[in-house]
Structure 1
Amino acid sequence: MSWMRRWSWAVAMVVAIVITVGGLIVLESGRERIAREYETALDAKTAAGELDALTARLTSIVASARGYLLTREPGEIDTYEQAFMQAHVLAAHIEAYYIRIGDTHASARLARVVAGLDARKREIDAIIALARTGPLETARSQARDSAALATGDTQREGINDLLMSEEQRAQSALDASRTDQRISTLCVGAVSALNIILFVLLFRNLGTQLGVQSREQERLLHTQSELDRLVRERTRQLEALARHLQNVGEEEKTKLARELHDELGAILTATKIDVASAQRRLSGSDTVAAEKLARAQGHLDQGIALKRRIVEDMRPTVLAHFGLVTALRTLAEEAAQRNGWRLSLDLPEDDIRLDEALAIALFRVAQEALNNAAKYAHASRLGVALCISESDGPLEAGQASIELDIDDDGIGIAPADLDRARTHGLLGMRQRVAARGGTLDIGPGSHNSGTHVSVRMPVTSSPP
């Protein structure tokens, strides 16, 4: 049934076209029949008029012949001859009409009328000739006894029969044309009614389909809205989880750094003191043992330095005691010294009081960016900038934001590497920034070379 609903409009259109074409064919054939019937009626009316004129000519023949016998006026003879010629012309026209329509019976009857008319002329001509040469009374007496000069004769009866036949033919054609007109009108009405019904059904079906589509679209929109809501909810949960994991990680690093500093640092320092004391006592008596103790003391110094570097990486004391600006300056200077970079710093002169989590996030992003530059950039110059400004981007309007920019003149980073989640610690950087509601942009440097890292985060605590 579903395919019928889908294709019902096409079926309805095909049926409507078939009905319309069929109706046009019926109407065209009806029009042709009506035209033929009107033509038949017109020809019959014309033939009836000619038969009526033939009757008038027959009357004129008799009247002019009688007029000559009474007055012997030559003009009556001319009228008689002219009327007879016109009667023959009319009879020829009527004969051609009967031959054209194929009415052999009427044609035979007309032939008998014409033959009688010729016989009558011969008889009248004889009487007129007698009136010209013989006694007039004799011609008049013969005319009174002649059937040729009678008014109710066989020719008139035959012409009247033909006239009535043509009038009936004309009336029958007109009646048939009226019937065909009524049939054509009924066909037009039926075709129009069927098309109206089909289009009503079609539009009703289309309305039903549109309603179904509208409900389906509303359902899809509702589903999409629900999915969007779920995605937003899951995103918020993931951001909260990432923030929690970062906080837990920082707390664990702080705890581990404290344990390393307090316990391992104390052990290493006490061991160094004991080794130094033993070295001094053995320096004069056992030079070999003293040298080994000296090497051990050097290893202890390296261990203490390694411990200090690990502790600083896990929980930078300079960030905790002196703030973000000093920590960034120290971090950049040490990295530049280790890697031989020319350093360009654009940092505030005074420290900025920030939320601890925000300061740690910015410091970790800077730390990761400098590590990446040291490992992969092959740079000779490094720039670090930090400032606070009013937000005009994706952050809330009027909200203060802190911006950290780090750029180098190295080989840059390939666009494909930016889409790889685990490349150069970018995933951790993005998660830290996203967890604080900020933005992270990584791209080419100022002169289309090197790498530029731009971090922007909302400030939760205004500077003093």
Structure 2
Amino acid sequence: MNKAIPSAGVRQASAPKRGNPGRVARLNDFMRRWSWAVAMTVAIVITVGGLVVLESGRMRIAAEYEVALDAKGATTQLTELAAEIATLAADERAFVLAPEASRAAYAAHFTQAAARIRRIIASLDGYYHRKADDTALASFAQVSGAVDAQIAAGLATLSNPALGADDARALALKTPEGGEILESTLALLRLTEERRAQHALDSSRADQRISTFCVGALCALNIVLFLLLFRNLGIQLDKQDRVQKKLITQQEELDQLVFERTRQLEALAWHLQSVSENEKTELARELHDELGSILTASKMDVAWVNGKLKHAEPAMAEKLTRALANLDQGIALKRRIIEDMRPTVLANFGLVTALSTLADEAAQRNGWTVELKLPESDVKLGDEIEIALFRVAQESLTNAAKYARASGIEIALTLDAERVSLHIADDGVGIRAQDLKRTHTHGLLGMRQRVSARGGRIEIEPRVPHGTSIRATLPRERTDAKHAASLDTGIPLA
């Protein structure tokens, strides 16, 4: 018991170290949803950063190339300066050694060389001031001072026309003061500028290598990021495809279930209508046999009594006469009820005669003109099909009498090897589109159910220019699949 308590405490203490599963799940969900955005953001940041690095490298390389070009230009100018200084000394010696007649040419050439030297010195002075190289600037100042002194001495020599042959020989043999120092200083300056140019070129090459490496690394990193992005996109598309397939499968299963339920409901509706028709037939038979016998016997008895009391009791005979009239009305009502439940003309003479009789009676009651397009001889379609078509015609004529305010009707019955079609049209006010969509219109709903329960279809639509057209199309015989559907539902066929 003493050892169990510390072990439990150890487990409790170590439990918080496992982390929060909910936080991990949220993080994983965030990464699944937004990994593409993170990858795109990183790629954009890396691309922009790489472009900044490349642009700064390009600017450094351009600046280093400019430094190298300036250094090469300064080296060239220093070389030209040394050459012009040598030319200047040569012109001074040639002036002294030349005859007086040709000294003017040498003096002019000396003056031109001095002007070129001043321009080179001015350019180099500006260059060294831009570079702000104090050591090179001090050395160049010494060179500039020595050159100025040499030019001044040369101009002094050119301005002295009394030079003799001895002076000329002395000048020719004379070595300028500081000439070696000037040449060494110029050589040192040239070497410095050459080194400056070489250093700038080396730096630019190094920057180029770094830029090339950065470009390669940037491209490789972007390729990796895009590969990861497309991989994640492929995973998402695959997941969506699996979800879509699952939804399609569920939809197919749902459609199959709806189809099965629809078949069951159609079989049930067909069964209920068959039961209803059978009950109506049975009730009509009971009314005809039982109630008809009672009313007929009562009428005969009342008529016999009325004949006996006609002269003896006139008042009572009048009552009996009224009772006979009421019995006649009851017998007529019984006949109408029986006809509505199970039309005897349909049972005895067939569908063609029944439709013709129904149209004639409706025309007499409503003052219609009737156009019949019926087969010349009766056809046998089966009790279910005949009663369904008769009920559709009966309901259509009832609706036309109640709502259409029609003056004429058309009834057509067409048949082929597989189907039978009943078309009823009137020239009334027509049916509205919203009435076709109403679910509480029992007459239209009953016609649709009666026709669809037998595997048919019904089309109800307005006529042009006015009126209503109703067309019911049914198969002439029920298929085996229809029987199988009825058997599958467990509903017995009537």
Shorter-chain TM range is 0.7 to 0.9
Counterpart of 2:438 in structure 1 is 420
In the alignment, is residue 140 of structure 1 matched against residue 169 of structure 2? yes
Q: Secondary structure at the match of 1:148?
A: coil
Query: Contact 2:389–2:422 at 8 Å: present in 1 too?
Result: yes
Q: What CA distance in whole angstroms lies between the structure 2 residues aligned with 1:115 and 1:332?
A: 138
| Equivalent position to 2:257, from 226, 230, 233 | 230
Moved more, 235-244 or 432-441: 432-441
Q: What CA distance in whole angstroms lies between the structure 2 residues aligned with 1:421 and 1:81?
A: 121
Q: Secondary structure at the match of 2:411?
A: strand
Q: What CA distance in whole angstroms lies between the structure 2 residues aligned with 1:7 and 1:227?
A: 34
Relative distance call for 1:268 and 1:97 in structure 2 (3 A) is same
| Equivalent position to 2:202, from 160, 164, 175 | 175
| Equivalent position to 2:421, from 400, 403, 407 | 403
Counterpart of 2:266 in structure 1 is 239
Query: Contact 1:343–1:382 at 8 Å: present in 2 too?
Result: yes
Q: What CA distance in whole angstroms lies between the structure 1 residues aligned with 2:211 and 2:339?
A: 104
Counterpart of 1:105 in structure 2 is 135
The equivalences for 1:55-74 within 5 A come to 55-65=82-92, 74=103
Counterpart of 1:395 in structure 2 is none
| Equivalent position to 2:126, from 96, 101, 106 | 96
Q: What CA distance in whole angstroms lies between the structure 2 residues aligned with 1:128 and 1:386?
A: 141
Q: Secondary structure at the match of 2:176?
A: helix
Q: What CA distance in whole angstroms lies between the structure 2 residues aligned with 1:139 and 1:409?
A: 144
The equivalences for 1:188-267 within 5 A come to 188-267=215-294
Query: Contact 2:96–2:171 at 8 Å: present in 1 too?
Result: no
Q: Secondary structure at the match of 1:448?
A: coil
2:260 partner amino acid: E
Query: Contact 1:127–1:142 at 8 Å: present in 2 too?
Result: no
| Equivalent position to 1:9, from 22, 36, 41 | 36
Identity %, equivalent residues:
55
| Equivalent position to 1:46, from 73, 93, 99 | 73
Moved more, 352-361 or 274-283: 274-283
| Equivalent position to 1:381, from 398, 404, 408 | 408
Q: Secondary structure at the match of 2:410?
A: strand
Counterpart of 1:310 in structure 2 is 337
Q: What CA distance in whole angstroms lies between the structure 2 residues aligned with 1:455 and 1:101?
A: 106
Counterpart of 1:394 in structure 2 is none
1:224: Cα distance to partner?
1.6
1:133 partner amino acid: L
Query: Contact 2:64–2:203 at 8 Å: present in 1 too?
Result: yes
Query: Contact 1:123–1:148 at 8 Å: present in 2 too?
Result: no
Query: Contact 1:131–1:139 at 8 Å: present in 2 too?
Result: no
1:262 partner amino acid: D
In the alignment, is residue 331 of structure 1 matched against residue 358 of structure 2? yes
Counterpart of 1:460 in structure 2 is 477
With structure 2 as the length reference, what TM-score do the two structures score? 0.83
Q: What CA distance in whole angstroms lies between the structure 1 residues aligned with 2:427 and 2:119?
A: 121
Q: Secondary structure at the match of 1:384?
A: strand
2:441 partner amino acid: T
Q: What CA distance in whole angstroms lies between the structure 2 residues aligned with 1:448 and 1:78?
A: 120
1:94: Cα distance to partner?
1.5
| Equivalent position to 2:144, from 114, 126, 130 | 114
For residues 64-113 of structure 1, give each alpha carbon's deviation from its aligned partner in whole angstroms, at most 9, with x where no partner exists: 55556667674666655554443333222211221232234322212212
Relative distance call for 1:140 and 1:126 in structure 2 (3 A) is farther
Q: What CA distance in whole angstroms lies between the structure 2 residues aligned with 1:59 and 1:297?
A: 165
Relative distance call for 1:63 and 1:327 in structure 2 (3 A) is same
Q: What CA distance in whole angstroms lies between the structure 1 residues aligned with 2:354 and 2:64?
A: 113
Relative distance call for 1:97 and 1:262 in structure 2 (3 A) is same
The answer for unaligned runs of 5 or more in structure 2 is 1-27, 479-494
Relative distance call for 1:157 and 1:258 in structure 2 (3 A) is same
Q: What CA distance in whole angstroms lies between the structure 2 residues aligned with 1:341 and 1:118?
A: 137
1:99 partner amino acid: H
Moved more, 100-109 or 321-330: 100-109
Q: What CA distance in whole angstroms lies between the structure 1 residues aligned with 2:413 and 2:333?
A: 29
Counterpart of 1:349 in structure 2 is 376
Moved more, 322-331 or 107-116: 107-116
2:469 partner amino acid: H
Q: Secondary structure at the match of 2:415?
A: strand
Q: What CA distance in whole angstroms lies between the structure 2 residues aligned with 1:317 and 1:219?
A: 57
Counterpart of 2:211 in structure 1 is 184
Query: Contact 1:19–1:191 at 8 Å: present in 2 too?
Result: yes
Moved more, 118-127 or 372-381: 118-127
Relative distance call for 1:412 and 1:405 in structure 2 (3 A) is same
1:288: Cα distance to partner?
3.3
1:166: Cα distance to partner?
0.6
In the alignment, is residue 295 of structure 1 matched against residue 322 of structure 2? yes
Q: What CA distance in whole angstroms lies between the structure 2 residues aligned with 1:16 and 1:50?
A: 50
Q: Secondary structure at the match of 1:352?
A: coil
Relative distance call for 1:272 and 1:187 in structure 2 (3 A) is same
1:457 partner amino acid: L
Query: Contact 2:92–2:158 at 8 Å: present in 1 too?
Result: yes
For residues 137-157 of structure 1, give each alpha carbon's deviation from its aligned partner in whole angstroms, at most 9, with x where no partner exists: x6535654x44178x611101
Counterpart of 1:22 in structure 2 is 49
Q: What CA distance in whole angstroms lies between the structure 2 residues aligned with 1:155 and 1:36?
A: 32
